[in-house]
Amino acid sequence: MLDHHEGWGSPPMFFGFAADADGELAIAAGPLHDDEAEESGIHPVHFRAAQLKKARLPLWGFGLLFEGFCEEFSPEEIASGEVRRTMLAGHFHERPTADEMCNAVIYDARGNEWAALIYRYLPDRGVSELFTPADTITKPPLGMAGFLWSAALLLDPANRARVFAIVAADEDEN
């Protein structure tokens, strides 16, 4: 997905991943934001997810390519109340440790996370790849990834109670 990044300042891209019974993989991709998504009144990630669900594809996950900050993908930082408050207030870019990155994130319907990250100012470091198993995610991810996580989990109706319980517990903490 990182190869779809067209340069810094590029808009986020949304991806849907599907596989048929024979294992053939299908990928649908497009811009996250447009007039239709903005007029929908719901978060653009959930709007795009709903569009793909209506297409009746055998979806197994969603992905997002966006620019963000390294700390969004550090579990020990996510647990920190200060980082959560800073991000939710929209001031992440003001942190002295806020390293800009291009992020490609995929969540499947079980809640597993795959991420590929590349630093804006240190591209020679190459791509960092991360995998976070679903059973270690105890809070919704921060920012755009949190919307993607919930949309992917909700591909399986059996996950609804789990998603609502995790989100409700997180809201009680804040």
pLDDT, one tens digit per residue, over 42-86 is 889 989 998 888 888 889 999 998 887 766 655 544 556 676 677
Q: What is the pLDDT of residue 6?
A: 65
The reported pTM is 0.77
Phi, then psi, of 22 in degrees rounded to 5:
-85, 0
Residue 34 to residues 11, 43, 45, 160, 169, Cα–Cα distance (Å): 10, 12, 12, 28, 32
Q: What is the pLDDT of residue 77?
A: 47
Q: Cα separation of 41 and 47, whole Å?
A: 9
Residue type (1 letter), 36: E
